[in-house]
Amino acid sequence: MAKIKLSERKLQELKEVCKSFNNDKGELINVLHKAQSIFGYLPAELQEVIAKELNVSVAHVYGVVTFYSFFTMTPKGQHPISICLGTACYVRGAEKVLEEFRRVLKIQVGETTADGKFSLSCLRCVGACGLAPVVLVGEKVYGRVSPDGVKDIVAEYNN
Amino acid sequence: MEMVKLTIDGKPVEVEKDATILKAAKTIGIDIPTLCYFQLKDMNIENRPGGCRICVVEVVGRRNLAPACSTNVAKDMVVNTHSIRVLNARRTVLELILSDHPAECLTCAKSGYCELQTMAQQLGVRELPFQGAQSTYRKDTSPAIIRDVDKCIMCRRCEMMCNDVQTVGALSAVNRGFMAVVAPAFEMNLEKSPCTYCGQCVSVCPTGALTEVDHSRNVINSLADPTKTVVVQTAPAVRAALGEEFGLAPGTLVTGKMVAALRRLGFDYVFDTDFAADLTIMEEGSELLDRLTRYLKGDQSVKLPILTSCCPGWVNFFEHNFPDLMDVPSTAKSPQQMFGPIAKEYFGKKLGIERKNMIVVSIMPCLAKKYECQRDEFKVNGDPDVNFSLSTRELAHLIKLANIDFNSLPDEEFDNPLGASTGAAVIFGNTGGVIEAACRTAYELYTGKKLEKVEFNELRGLENIRHATLDFNGLPINIGIAHGLGNARKLLEDVRAGKSQFHAIEIMACPGGCIGGGGQPFHHGDSEIIKQRAAAIYREDAAKPIRKSHENPFIIELYKEFLGKPLSEKSHHLLHTRYFDKSAATYVEE
């Protein structure tokens, strides 16, 4: 694992966050949420910083990061694509839509494209069942997505 | 404390209100089988995640089975610990655990000592009905400990020891579900983590997931090599525990048989680490007195307290966590590492043996010693002062491998000149022993008077942190003692904050001291065994004709003939060392 250089400004922001929680090790999960929102993901170097700030072992921080699926150690794409696999979407063919995204983007679930543009993940029910199957790209919701429509959605972001 | 009456297996029992079903059953002789549960009583060490579900019992009126280790008793509770429903459930639970466990008993290092294996025998497992995928992980070999976590059953004992007891923090449960495992951060190798190699994780692991690096083959090859002179040194704690591997009661001293066995294994010279312990006292005691007298004269540059430095797990912990206090520990090497140069440079040279043709093997209760002997500063032109370190368990294996009937061996004596030792040396095995040995010498050297009573009972005991004030002819000397790294951390934090009142502090990484070391026969949480071993060590001390290190005639001769005097230039060169700042160590490479 090669070392990456973390932005000084963002690190300072993170240290302020820790201070606002009194560097209390009990606030680890809250700190990790804020850290992921500042940095977009939680690389190893960042986990070491957080461990030091909250006076916990790096192993413990890593344990918490890997336990919760929300926390990620790989950067999300510029346009994060989430496919809903809740019941309504599932029975209306969400799996085929997922397969098509995998084929078009050439990545697996949990991965990011090499150019950093798109990442792929799955969600459980987002509560838009009337629009099933549902796909989210960033905050935008696409309804009644068919496998044929996948490459058009991707094309929207490729300009 | 309010008492509660309940019924277990038809028998009435009365216990404290806050007792668990497991504890209550124990008081009437019912041993409910457990797997993840672990307790070292009298030392406040308990692992109770309630995760394995082996200890489930039936509680009348409760729909599901209750985990006995984590369920509190209640008034008039009726418990059945081995109904058919319980036995079936217990076996199914075990079969499920085994469904993700490699069936490698024949070649596993833990075979014969594995708690999972014992449980499978006890519950009569005859087939593995749950077949399917198994989670596999990379095997991790460090200088002292091997992690083969395909065998991990997530009992969390190692995590508990490493984080709660030792406060080292090298391990954590990571991932979830099928892929959950206990690992260092980023699942990197243990060698890159803050692991101190204290080996307490190995001593509590119920399976073969955590084992020691075994150098027996290297030792056997050396013994078989006619060009090599193979010399062995044995730590004090070994002689108080080795007998347990041969069915002898805990606390049986087997010094004579141990020497006889080593001779029959083919070692050319059977020496005693205790000899080097006497040497350590000469050097470290002189260092203590030197620092103390300069401090009392008002020398501001002198650092007190002085910390003992014979425990490599402790040294590692120190280098990682307190590098700002680098000039506080004694510069004296450990007895193992003092023995090496004396064997190769003094003894070997006297006999005309070339350094590379002398192999020094140590038998230690410790796993960190395996790491210590390969540290670069303990080598001369790449040749280590101590070549291999074997644990007490490995020695027992070797003796069995060589088909030696240990129990019928006669008592034999160590060879000279590196085999004679005093009572002060043998108590190194117990917590409080090193500092007591140092005080026996420091008192007489400082005051010029003879000690009336050689035992310092105020330094003995198993409490986590102890302190005593000794009277050196009117001068009060404050001694602090800690065993277990978590307790050491507390003392060190006081030193860092300038709050420490101690002149000298002794630290041992393992609960109980070396007698509870990571390489000793497994005690499975029975603190009685540790107490018996400690008592045996004190018995051996009391039986010795000479009980103070500075009266050891072979030590006196060694200084006269070779070293000059303690802290001389030669002594410094061969018997003292330096430490390294490891705090910046990171998992992530540049």
* Annotated catalytic residue B319: no
The pTM score is 0.92
Q: Which of B85, B43, B40 is nearest to B60 (CA)?
A: B85
> Angle A21-A22-A27 (CA atoms, 0-180°, nearest 5)?
45
**What mean pLDDT is predicted for residues B93-118?**
96
Q: What is the pLDDT of residue A3?
A: 76
To the nearest whole Å, the CA of B191 is away from the closest chain A CA by 14
**Topology classification of domain B217-575:** Rossmann fold (3.40.50)
Q: Please check the confidence at residue B587 and state whether its pLDDT lies above 80.
A: no
Are the C-beta atoms of A120 and A129 separated by less than 8 Å? no
Q: What is the pLDDT of residue B535?
A: 97
To the nearest whole Å, the CA of B156 is away from the closest chain A CA by 13
The answer to whether residues A118 and A143 belong to one domain is yes
Is CATH 3.30.1540.10 what the domain over B105-127+135-212 is classified as, yes or no?
Answer: no
**What mean pLDDT is predicted for residues B359-373?**
97
- Does residue A105 lie within any of the structural domains? yes
First to last CA, chain B: 58
- How far apart (Å, rounded) are the C-alpha atoms in residues B378 and B356? 14
The answer to whether residues A59 and A83 belong to one domain is no
Closest residue, chain B, to A64 (C-alpha): B174
Model confidence pLDDT, tens digit, residues B432-487 = 999 999 999 999 999 999 998 999 999 999 999 999 999 998 999 999 999 999 99
The answer to whether residues A41 and A99 belong to one domain is no
* Annotated catalytic residue B111: no
Predicted ipTM of the assembly: 0.90
Query: In chain B, what residues touch A56 (CB-CB under 8 Å)?
Result: 169
Model confidence pLDDT, tens digit, residues A15-48 = 999 999 999 999 999 999 999 999 989 999 999 9
Q: Which of A98-102, A141-145, B274-278, B584-588 has the lowest mean pLDDT?
A: B584-588
Q: Which of B229, B538, B267 is nearest to B414 (CA)?
A: B267
- Does residue A72 lie within any of the structural domains? no
Domain with CATH 3.30.70.20 in chain B: 105-127+135-212
Q: Please check the confidence at residue B230 and state whether its pLDDT lies above 60.
A: yes
Instruction: Give Cβ neighbours of residue B317 (< 8 Å, ≥ 6 apart).
Output: B166, B168, B196, B198, B485, B488, B489, B509
**What mean pLDDT is predicted for residues B494-504?**
93
pLDDT band for position B590 (cuts 50, 70, 90): low
| DSSP per-residue string spanning B374-442 | T-GGGEETTEESS-EEEEHHHHHHHHHHTT--GGGPPP-PPPSSSS---HHHHGGGSTTHHHHHHHHHH
Q: What is the pLDDT of residue A159?
A: 72
Q: Please check the confidence at residue B589 and state whether its pLDDT lies above 70.
A: no
Q: Which of A134, A56, A60 is nearest to A97 (CA)?
A: A134
To the nearest whole Å, the CA of A9 is away from the closest chain B CA by 21
First to last CA, chain A: 33
CA distances from B540 to B241, B294, B310, B365, B545 (A): 13, 36, 21, 17, 10
* Annotated catalytic residue B350: no
Mean pLDDT of chain A: 92
Question: What percent of chain B shows pLDDT beyond 70?
Answer: 99
- Does residue A41 lie within any of the structural domains? yes
Closest residue, chain B, to A49 (C-alpha): B586
Residue tagged active-site, from B159, B284, B394, B436 = B284
The answer to whether residues A83 and A152 belong to one domain is yes
Instruction: Give Cβ neighbours of residue B70 (< 8 Å, ≥ 6 apart).
Output: B20, B48, B50
Q: What is the pLDDT of residue A94?
A: 94
The answer to whether residues A85 and A150 belong to one domain is yes
Query: In chain B, what residues touch A60 (CB-CB under 8 Å)?
Result: 163, 169, 172
CA distances from B398 to B209, B361, B402, B492 (A): 22, 13, 6, 39
Are the C-beta atoms of B238 and B254 separated by less than 8 Å? no
CA distances from B137 to A64, B147, B209, B541 (A): 19, 10, 11, 47
Question: Which CATH number characterizes residue A124's domain?
Answer: 3.40.30.10
Question: What percent of chain B shows pLDDT beyond 90?
Answer: 94
Q: Please check the confidence at residue B314 and state whether its pLDDT lies above 70.
A: yes
Residue tagged active-site, from B58, B372, B394, B506 = B372
Q: What is the pLDDT of residue A2?
A: 65
Q: What is the pLDDT of residue B296?
A: 87
Question: Maximum Cα–Cα distance for chain B, whole Å?
Answer: 80
The answer to whether residues A50 and A90 belong to one domain is no
Q: Please check the confidence at residue B138 and state whether its pLDDT lies above 60.
A: yes
Pairing of strands B229-234, B269-272: parallel
Domain with CATH 3.10.20.740 in chain B: 3-98
Show the tokens assigned to B9: 């297996």
Q: Which of B161, B145, B40 is nearest to B509 (CA)?
A: B161
Q: Which of B235, B113, B234, B244 is nearest to B533 (CA)?
A: B244
Q: Which of B579, B578, B580, B572 is nearest to B341 (CA)?
A: B572
Q: Residue A60 is nearest to which of B172, B587, B589, comparing CB atoms? A: B172
Task: Tell me which residues of chain B, numbers 133 to 172, contact chain A at a CB-CB cutoff of 8 Å.
Answer: 163, 168-172
The answer to whether residues A37 and A97 belong to one domain is no
Show the tokens assigned to B95: 């079969």
Q: 3-state DSSP call for residue A147?
A: helix
To the nearest whole Å, the CA of A44 is away from the closest chain B CA by 7
The answer to whether residues A103 and A44 belong to one domain is no
* Annotated catalytic residue B284: yes
CA distances from B525 to A122, B111, B112, B159, B197 (A): 46, 19, 18, 16, 20
Show the tokens assigned to B215: 């150098």
* Annotated catalytic residue B514: yes
Describe chain B by its helix, strand, coil percentages, rounded to 5.
40, 15, 40
Which amino acid, B549? S
Q: Which of B140-154, B427-441, B576-590 has the lowest mean pLDDT?
A: B576-590
Q: What is the pLDDT of residue A21?
A: 96
Q: Please check the confidence at residue B505 and state whether its pLDDT lies above 70.
A: yes
Mean pLDDT of chain B: 95
To 10 degrees, what angle do helices A44-54 and A58-67 make?
120
- Neighbour-count burial of B290, counting CB atoms closer than 10 A to its CB (0-12 exposed, 13-18 middle, 19+ buried): middle
The answer to whether residues A149 and A86 belong to one domain is yes
Query: In chain A, what residues touch B194 (CB-CB under 8 Å)?
Result: 57
The answer to whether residues A96 and A150 belong to one domain is yes
Which residue in this structure is represented by tokens 């199914």? Answer: B92
- How far apart (Å, rounded) are the C-alpha atoms in residues A61 and A56? 7
To the nearest whole Å, the CA of A105 is away from the closest chain B CA by 27
Chains A and B: how many Cβ contacts under 8 Å?
A: 58
Q: 3-state DSSP call for residue A78?
A: coil
Domain with CATH 3.40.50.1780 in chain B: 217-575
- Does residue A98 lie within any of the structural domains? yes
Which residue in this structure is represented by tokens 């459980």? Answer: A124
Query: In chain A, what residues touch B176 (CB-CB under 8 Å)?
Result: 66-67
- Does residue A1 lie within any of the structural domains? no
Instruction: Give Cβ neighbours of residue B194 (< 8 Å, ≥ 6 apart).
Output: A57, B168, B169, B170, B320, B321, B582, B585
Q: Please check the confidence at residue B549 and state whether its pLDDT lies above 70.
A: yes
Structural domain of residue A58, as residue ranges? 8-67
CB contact under 8 A, B588 and A56: no
Q: Please check the confidence at residue B95 and state whether its pLDDT lies above 80.
A: yes
**Topology classification of domain B3-98:** Ubiquitin-like (UB roll) (3.10.20)
Model confidence pLDDT, tens digit, residues B23-50 = 999 999 999 999 999 999 888 899 999 9
- Does residue A99 lie within any of the structural domains? yes
- Does residue A3 lie within any of the structural domains? no
The answer to whether residues A89 and A138 belong to one domain is yes
Show the tokens assigned to B39: 């307790």
CB contact under 8 A, A58 and B173: no
Q: Please check the confidence at residue B425 and state whether its pLDDT lies above 60.
A: yes
- What's the number of domains chain A is made of? 2
The answer to whether residues A62 and A83 belong to one domain is no
- Does residue A44 lie within any of the structural domains? yes
Mutate to test the interface with B, among A66, A68, A70, A73 (most CBs of B within 10 A): A66
